[in-house]
A and B are shown apart, each in its own frame.
Chain A
Amino acid sequence: MSQSSYYREWSSNVGRDVVAGAVVALALIPEAIAFSIIAGVDPKVGLYASFCIAVVIAFVGGRPGMISAATGAMALLMIDLVKDHGLQYLLAATLLTGVLQIFAGLFKLGNLMRFVSRSVVTGFVNALAILIFMAQLPEFKGAGWQMYAMVAAGLIIIYGLPRFTKAVPSPLVCIVALTGFSMMMGLDLRTVGDLGELPSALPTFLLPNVPWNLETLWIILPTAIPLAIVGLLESLMTATIVDDMTDTASDKNRECSGQGIANIVAGMFGGMAGCAMIGQSVINVKSGGRGRLSAFSAGTLLLILIVVLGDWVKQIPMPALVAVMIMVSIGTFSWASFRNFRLHPKSSSIVMVSTVAVVVGTHNLALGVGVGVLLSALFFARKVSQLLEITSELTVDRTARTYRIRGQLFFVSANTFADAFDFREVIQQVRIDVSLAHFWDLTAINALDKVVIKFRREGTAVELVGLNAASKTIVDRLGTHDKPGAMDQLAAH
């Protein structure tokens, strides 16, 4: 990309970017705290991560206007590592995640996103929304009616206030109002301060305090790999969403490396791994943010707010946080997918639901996407295999039959193809016309070989006509029937 367009991505929308960045920063604070809680680390880990990632990605990302920070999808993958080995290993895993993502960018793995179908993407965002929602449920456990009432009041503020004014961020009003109310009434609610340390200063550069040996690598690798994959998946999906919303293009491979660099910086400053956030990016675009400056100002403001207002942030009661997170999960979920059950093909719905089910079952978005992609591929193979039509006709003197094959021949359709021939018929000659067929793989060639050889064993002469150029090359390379000793070879199978 040229320098001038990079410059424009910073400067073309300054006023709106700063304002949108402020709205996003206010929404990022509760999220970063909530995701730290999910991961089982102090809120400052998520807040430092959000600051580092948002600011670094503003410079090195490939999708201006997209917001990246500490995320729920990533937090869910860290739980076991934090529980078993502690924060320092999480930071080391964060560094490794960054390195893996940079390699993904260098090897242009962003292009692999084209194998992720629309249904898988929908499944991913729905699963993510469900997980964020489910992560809030433990907060209700053993809580009194006050908790429920406060969350309800918070949601009413969040969704009610924009009906009156759109000039102030309603989640912020929700947090301020609930915090004020709970402090005044002296309600006995858990607060953010109860959950762990908040940042009181700027993050400092510090390498993770772990032994730098293979043993450590084997501990962090099983976490770092899914972190890298999920981070890239969510980032690239979000990038596509922002592309669509703003009608502009983004550089996906640059985004991959950018996420990697951002995670490395986060890991070095005591933050956990993160990635792009669908909800926050939507909020950013909605507030008018389009350029790199929006992510930069969001990150910077987040840190300023948290350092300056730390004592107040401590007082935020959990119901305020829970209400904001419920809003994020509602906003992330694709509610249209319920309606689409009726409209979309069944196979798409199955892919979507399977993706959701696997993620909710395993809490691992990478596995869900893997299953979704696999299912999409299988459904596609099955659909294409149906593009096969075999007809035949007998000559008037009943000594020869012509089979006409039309369509795609590959491992899925090979059996249908082989079964379409009538070997019981006593006939002198068979013509197999494949001029409208395409042979894709070894299985299809093998099926053709078997058919030809079987006819020859019945004493029928076989003539193969109309192999198109593409089929012919693969037949030449893999086929055996036209080479000496074909019968023996096939018999050996």
Chain B
Amino acid sequence: MSSILSCTDGSVYARSVYDHTAWAAQRMAAAVHILHCLEPRRNPAALTDLSGAIGVDAQAKLTAELVTLDEARARVAQAHARAILADAERHLAAAGLTCVMGEAIHGELTDAITRFDATADLVVIGKRGEHADFAKLHLGGNLERVIRSCHHPVLVASRAFAPIERVLVAFDGGPSSRAAIDFAVTNPLMRGFSLHLLHVGNPNPELQSSLEAARSQLAAAGFVVAADVVPGDVEQVIVDTVKKESVNLLVMGAYGHSRIRQFIVGSTTTTMVRTCQIPVLMFR
């Protein structure tokens, strides 16, 4: 049985993460592992002692004080984590999933992903987390790191879940594009969707042939598939296409060739994921 790792932090994206998880789990007939990380203290315990004086057993007393503060905060965080997981389990159960396991662990999300990645076929994460500020228009700090550390496809959930039918595949001919095509063919997640393979850039024979190979491979697997080469700015073209064709899911590769390389993990990706208000499925 395949397995989905669903990362939640109880933020406004959490519901959408659960919906995307439920959708993927039903299509893949997968077990769901919900993971909530109690991140190590982002802010140190709130001591406001600037007296700079150290008295008898200063170190022991300070340690005891910090332990007490951390303990109180950790208890709250634990209770919060239990509530988040209970909510997640309820939500997924309501969606009809039976094989759901919730787990809270201490540590950074990226470390946790590296640990659980091996057993997961798909990782689901929200575009933004509770620490990201909407006003700043910046992506969840974890997202980029998770994508970097993950060896499996990552489904980045958008703000709200919408039924998925039309899929745009940003194709660059690189290994991550290959991984995306293979995933589409072998994994039931995208079965039955209409796919649009899009290469942004100037056409060249080598790319044409690999694009055509991918197209026929997908067509043979029963997909309704179109393939295009469009010159222009990667970001712009993809964003426009998403809007124009009302695409519901963007598939792209991380660490591909050429410009795709920077656009996946550099600031361009961030712009991409931010401007396309649809879920993005990333491959390495």
Question: Which residues on A are within 8 Å of B, measured CB to CB?
Answer: 4, 12-13, 16, 19-20, 23-24, 26-27, 158-159, 161-162, 165-172, 241, 244-248, 278-279, 282-283, 285-288, 290, 327-328, 330-336
A161 touching B51 in the complex, CB below 8 Å, given contacts A13-B44, A246-B44, A290-B44: yes
- With CB as the reference atom, state the residue of chain A lying closest to B49: A166
Chain B 159-178 interface residues, beta-carbon cutoff 8 Å to A: none
Q: Are B44 and A166 in contact (CB under 8 A)?
A: no
CB of B40 within 8 Å of the partner chain: yes
Q: Are A23 and B50 in contact (CB under 8 A)?
A: yes
A166 to B48, CA, bound (A): 7
Question: Which residues on B are within 8 Å of A, measured CB to CB?
Answer: 40-44, 46-60, 62-63, 66-67, 70, 145
Instruction: Give, as a whole number of angstroms, the nearest-CB distance from A43 to chain B.
Output: 20
Q: Name 13 interchain pairs, CB-CB below 8 A, sorted by A.
A: A20-B50, A23-B50, A168-B51, A170-B52, A245-B62, A246-B66, A247-B41, A282-B62, A286-B49, A286-B58, A288-B48, A334-B60, A335-B57
Residue among B49, B52, B66 with max Cβ neighbours from chain A (10 Å): B52
A330 to B59, CA, bound (A): 11
A166 touching B59 in the complex, CB below 8 Å, given contacts A12-B42, A246-B66: no
Instruction: Give, as a whole number of angstroms, the nearest-CB distance from B57 to chain A.
Output: 5
Instruction: Give, as a whole number of angstroms, the nearest-CB distance from A237 to chain B.
Output: 11
Instruction: Give, as a whole number of angstroms, the nearest-CB distance from A66 to chain B.
Output: 13
Contacts of B67 in A (CB 8 A): 247
Instruction: Give, as a whole number of angstroms, the nearest-CB distance from A395 to chain B.
Output: 59
Q: Are A331 and B58 in contact (CB under 8 A)?
A: yes
- With CB as the reference atom, state the residue of chain A lying closest to B70: A247
B40 interface neighbour in A16, A248, A286, Cβ under 8 Å:
A248
A159 to B46, CA, bound (A): 22
Q: Are B44 and A19 in contact (CB under 8 A)?
A: no
Q: Which 9 A-B pairs have the closest CB atoms?
A: A331-B54, A169-B52, A162-B51, A331-B58, A23-B52, A290-B44, A166-B51, A170-B53, A166-B49
Q: Are B55 and A19 in contact (CB under 8 A)?
A: no
Q: Are A336 and B57 in contact (CB under 8 A)?
A: yes
Instruction: Give, as a whole number of angstroms, the nearest-CB distance from B144 to chain A.
Output: 9
A171 interface neighbour in B43, B47, B53, Cβ under 8 Å:
B53
Q: Are A26 and B52 in contact (CB under 8 A)?
A: yes
A328 touching B54 in the complex, CB below 8 Å, given contacts A162-B49, A287-B47, A288-B48: yes
A331 to B44, CA, bound (A): 22
A20 to B44, CA, bound (A): 12
- With CB as the reference atom, state the residue of chain B lying closest to A27: B52
- With CB as the reference atom, state the residue of chain B lying closest to A169: B52
Contacts of A170 in B (CB 8 A): 51-53
Contacts of A159 in B (CB 8 A): 53, 55
Instruction: Give, as a whole number of angstroms, the nearest-CB distance from B16 to chain A.
Output: 26
Contacts of A285 in B (CB 8 A): 62, 66
A327 touching B54 in the complex, CB below 8 Å, given contacts A248-B40, A285-B62, A290-B44: yes
A253 to B97, CA, bound (A): 48
A300 to B272, CA, bound (A): 41
Instruction: Give, as a whole number of angstroms, the nearest-CB distance from A94 to chain B.
Output: 27
Instruction: Give, as a whole number of angstroms, the nearest-CB distance from B163 to chain A.
Output: 36
Contacts of A335 in B (CB 8 A): 56-57
B47 interface neighbour in A286, A327, A330, Cβ under 8 Å:
A286
Instruction: Give, as a whole number of angstroms, the nearest-CB distance from A60 to chain B.
Output: 22
A288 interface neighbour in B47, B55, B57, B59, Cβ under 8 Å:
B47
A286 touching B44 in the complex, CB below 8 Å, given contacts A241-B59, A245-B63, A278-B59: no
A328 to B53, CA, bound (A): 8
Q: Are A158 and B49 in contact (CB under 8 A)?
A: no
A282 to B61, CA, bound (A): 10
A248 to B41, CA, bound (A): 10
Contacts of A4 in B (CB 8 A): 145
Residue among B43, B53, B57 with max Cβ neighbours from chain A (10 Å): B53
A12 to B44, CA, bound (A): 9
